[in-house]
């Protein structure tokens, strides 16, 4: 099992803590043990399928395929959209960005934006960006701890103030900024908009619901999201729990949302606490969670 050094990024809207990243400009580094100081992509290159799984290594090579982070949101993020893998590769030679959000904490009356509230045309989109009224046609959602939103590529979205969010995404920083409230960036200059790219990348269809439904349970693993790039579940424990990994041809990311635990796998142990993650290699046959007295809540993700 591997613990990694977190990367803190101050943002104009708050801050984000990257706890596991294979993104070339911000690579996670092993925090302890014999591989201390090695970055995650170096580790993948050395261990290959033993770390990430044989099929995962075939698909993604030496780049770790997921990026996980915690977002502390004190002001609205820009209205944005992420391109598909095909679109991003064709236009910019980059990866697309499918992602999901899990709401850890939310202040009273906290909200977020996700999806269009009604169908619009690309021409109306361009006009509304120009006159600053684009937020009038984006669906706004009340949020509470435990809410989950899956953000497929092409879906317009924005986090708003008053929330603390866990985010799981493809290893990518492909973001098309649609609207940024005419505010300056950290350097004092306006941040650029990407209107033309966004217009072509957007999915203008309207969904009946944008929130991911699930039934919370204690001391049981509950599926949340499964897509081409990642599968995520939530595990809330008050008692020890063992997960069989023998048929999983993938790493497992354990992302701690609340509480803490001792993790045991392959004769090794690691402690985990809130805002931390542990990477369990694909070679592991099982993992045991022994929660602290206050319990444990984690997200579990794999490809």
Shared domain for 231 and 89, answered yes or no, is: no
Shared domain for 9 and 82, answered yes or no, is: yes
Shared domain for 32 and 129, answered yes or no, is: yes
Shared domain for 40 and 162, answered yes or no, is: yes
94 inside domain: yes
How many Å separate Cα 61 from the centre of its chain? 20
Give the chain's domain count.
2
Shared domain for 152 and 241, answered yes or no, is: no
Shared domain for 118 and 10, answered yes or no, is: yes
> Residues near 289 by Cβ (< 8 Å), separated by ≥ 6?
235, 237, 240, 241, 242, 243, 261, 262, 263, 296, 298
Q: Is 116 left (phi over 0), alpha (psi -120 to 50) or beta?
A: beta
Residue at a domain's end among 153, 173, 201: 201
Shared domain for 34 and 76, answered yes or no, is: yes
Shared domain for 176 and 237, answered yes or no, is: no
Shared domain for 129 and 259, answered yes or no, is: no
216 inside domain: no
Shared domain for 154 and 265, answered yes or no, is: no
Shared domain for 264 and 130, answered yes or no, is: no
214 inside domain: no
291 inside domain: yes
**pLDDT one digit per residue (tens) for the chain, 303 residues:** 999 999 999 999 999 999 999 999 999 999 999 999 999 999 999 999 999 999 999 999 999 999 999 999 999 999 999 999 999 999 999 999 999 999 999 999 999 999 999 999 999 999 999 999 999 999 999 999 999 999 999 999 999 999 999 999 999 999 999 999 989 888 888 899 999 999 999 999 999 999 999 999 999 999 999 999 999 999 999 999 999 999 999 999 999 999 999 999 999 999 999 999 999 999 999 999 999 999 999 999 999
Shared domain for 228 and 176, answered yes or no, is: no
CATH of residue 170's domain is 2.60.120.10
Q: Which domain holds residue 250?
A: 221-302
pTM over 0.85: yes
């Amino acid at each position: 099992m591997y613990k990694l050094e977190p990367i803190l990024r101050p943002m104009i809207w708050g801050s984000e803590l990257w706890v596991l990243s294979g993104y070339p400009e911000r690579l996670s580094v092993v925090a302890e043990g014999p591989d201390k100081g090695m970055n995650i992509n170096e580790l993948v290159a050395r261990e290959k399928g033993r770390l990430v799984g044989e099929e995962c290594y075939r698909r993604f090579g030496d780049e770790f395929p997921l990026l996980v982070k915690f977002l502390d949101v004190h002001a609205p993020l820009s209205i944005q959209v992420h391109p598909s893998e095909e679109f991003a590769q064709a236009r910019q030679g980059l990866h697309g960005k499918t992602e999901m959000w899990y709401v850890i904490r939310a202040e009273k009356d906290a909200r977020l934006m996700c999806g269009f509230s009604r169908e619009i045309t690309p021409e109306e989109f361009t006009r509304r960006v120009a006159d600053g009224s684009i937020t009038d046609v984006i669906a706004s959602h009340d949020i509470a701890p435990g809410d989950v939103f899956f953000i497929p590529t092409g879906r317009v979205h924005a986090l708003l103030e008053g929330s603390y969010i866990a985010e799981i995404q493809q290893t990518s920083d492909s973001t098309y900024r649609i609207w940024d409230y005419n505010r300056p960036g950290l350097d004092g200059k306006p941040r650029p908009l990407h209107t033309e790219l966004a217009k072509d990348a957007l999915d203008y269809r309207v969904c009946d619901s944008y929130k991911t439904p699930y039934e919370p349970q204690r001391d049981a693993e509950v599926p949340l999201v499964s897509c081409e790039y990642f599968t995520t579940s939530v595990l809330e424990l008050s008692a020890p729990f063992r997960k069989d990994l023998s048929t999983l041809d993938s790493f497992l990311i354990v992302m701690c949302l609340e509480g803490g635990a001792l993790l045991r796998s392959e004769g090794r142990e690691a402690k985990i606490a809130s805002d931390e993650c542990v990477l369990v290699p694909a070679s592991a046959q099982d993992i045991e969670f022994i929660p602290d007295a206050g319990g444990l809540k984690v997200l579990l993700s794999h490809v």
